[in-house]
Amino acid sequence: MHLGKMFSNYAGMPKEAKYLIYASIMPAVAYGLIFTDISYFLTIIQEVPADFTGIVISAMGISTFVASIFLGMAADVYGRKKLLIVGNLLASIILAVLALTTDPVLLIIAAIFEGISEAAITASSSALLADKVDNEKRTSLFSLYGFVQGLAFGLGSFAVPFVIFFEFAGFTDKDSHILLYVLIAILSAVSTLIMLKVSESKKLKKPKAGEKKFFPRKSKAILLKYVLTGAILAFGAGMVVPLMTLWFNLQYGISDKISASILAVSSILVGFATLVAPWVAKKFGLIKAIVITQAASTLFMFSVPFSSNYALAGFVYSIRALLMNMASPLSQSMIMGLVAEDERGAVSGISGALWRLPNALSTFIGAWLMGIGLLAEPFLIASLLYLISIMLFWHYFRKVKMPEEETQHRKGIVF
C-alpha cells in the first residue's frame, strides 16, 4: 500500500475538529510534564517521601474517578465545550500550585483538583471529537489527535532538561524546576482561547422527567465489558508508567534531565505510531488491531527490568509505549462508534473514571515496591495484568463489527 493511500483519510478534516486538536497541544505539554516528572520532582527536588508521592499521584486518579462519572453525564446535558474550557483552566492553575508548595495538605488538595480537571477534559474531548466527523473518518481523527497528543506530551517531557537554562541564569535546580512548571501552566491557560472557536455539540441529551442521573442505559452492555478490560489494563499500567523517572533514578542513578528526555523520545515515537493506526485497523479490523498491538506491547513491558543499562531500558520501554498507545486511539474510536451518540460524554466519563481509579491505586503499590527496593516486580505484575485484560477483551469483542466496517463491506472496499 502506498503511503499516500495510507494517509489519505486524514485529508479534509472539518475545521472545528482541527481547532480541537490545536487547542489540545499546550494542555498535553502540561500533562507531559506532570506525568513524566512529578514523581521525580516531588521526591528528589522537593524531598517529599516516596510513599507520599505515590499517595499524591494516587489522589489524582481517585479524584478523576469520582469526578468523571458525574462530569461525563453533565457534559451530555449541559455542554461538552463548557466542560472542556473549565477543565483546561483548572488544570493550568493546578500545575502551578503543584510546583509552588510542599505542604502535604495543599498537595493533596491540588491533586484532587487536578483529578477533577482531568475528568472534565477526558469526559468532554472524546465526545466532542466524535461529534465533528462521520463514522468513516472517526478512527482517523482520533489517531490524528493521538499523534498531536503524543508529540505534545513528548515536548512536555523534553521541557525538563530546559531547567539548565534557568540554572545558567543563576537559579537553583529547585527554582528552575518551579519556573518551568509555572511557565507551562501559563501557556496552557492561554490555549483556552482556541477552544472558544469550537461550537457546542448538537447531540446533547435531553433528559426526560424522572430519568435517573442520566446514566447511559442504551450503552450499558457494551460499556460494562469495555471498562472491565480497561480497568485491569489500567491497574497494571499504574504500577509503572507514572513512576518511570523515579524508577530510572533508583535503577540506574540517573536524573530526570536524562530520564525525561528518554521518555520524551518515547512519547514522540508514540505520536508517529498513531498515524499508522487507522491503516492497521483497516488491514486487520479494529478489534484485531487493538489486540495485536497490546499483546506485542506486553512482551516489551516484561523485558524492561532485565535491561543491562538505562539506554537499553529506555529503548525497550519506548517500544512498549509505542505499541500500547497505538491501540489507544483505536480503543477510543471503538467505544465512541459503538455507543449511542447522545451518551458519548457519559460513556467517556465513566470509562475514564474506571481507568483512572485502578491506575491510581496501583501507582501507590508501585511506588511502595520501588521504595523498598523491588524494582522488577512492578513490571512483572503489570505484564500479567496486561495479558489478562487482552484475553478478556478478545473474548468480549472478537465478533463485533464497527459501523464503518459494515459500510466498507457493503461497498466492497478491500484494503
The answer to whether residue 327 is domain-embedded is yes
Q: What's the half-sphere exposure (Cβ side, CA atoms, 13 Å) at 349?
A: 30
The letter for the amino acid at 213 is K
Find the Cα–Cα–Cα–Cα dihedral 347, 348, 351, 353, rounded to 10°: -120
The answer to whether residue 107 is domain-embedded is yes
Look at residue 13 in the predicted model and tell me its pLDDT: 80
Q: What is the CATH number of the domain that holds 101?
A: 1.20.1250.20
The answer to whether residue 40 is domain-embedded is yes
The span from the CA of 113 to the CA of 203, in Å, is 28
- Tens of pLDDT, residue by residue over 144-171, are 887 888 788 878 877 878 888 888 888 8
Contact 29, 210 (CB under 8 A): no
First to last CA, the chain: 8
**What does the block give as the cell for 37?**
516528572
Cα 259 to its chain centre, rounded Å, is 19
pTM, rounded to two decimals: 0.69
Contact 352, 123 (CB under 8 A): yes
**What does the block give as the cell for 286?**
479494529
Integer CA distances (angstroms), 285 to 32, 252, 327, 403, in order: 30, 41, 12, 12
Residues of the chain with pLDDT under 70: 1-11, 202-216, 403-415
The answer to whether residue 361 is domain-embedded is yes
Contact 51, 369 (CB under 8 A): no
Q: What is the DSSP string of 72-105?
A: HHHHHHH-HHHHHHHHHHHHHHHHHHHHH---HH
The answer to whether residue 211 is domain-embedded is no
The answer to whether residue 353 is domain-embedded is yes
The span from the CA of 328 to the CA of 275, in Å, is 12
The answer to whether residue 273 is domain-embedded is yes
Contact 201, 342 (CB under 8 A): no
Name the residue among 268, 204, 249 with its Cα closest to residue 32. 268
Q: Cell 521518555 maps to which residue? A: 263
What is the CA angle 334-339-344, rounded to 5?
95
The answer to whether residue 46 is domain-embedded is yes
Task: State the residue range of the domain holding 130.
Answer: 15-197+217-406
* Number of compact structural domains in the chain: 1
**What does the block give as the cell for 32?**
507531559
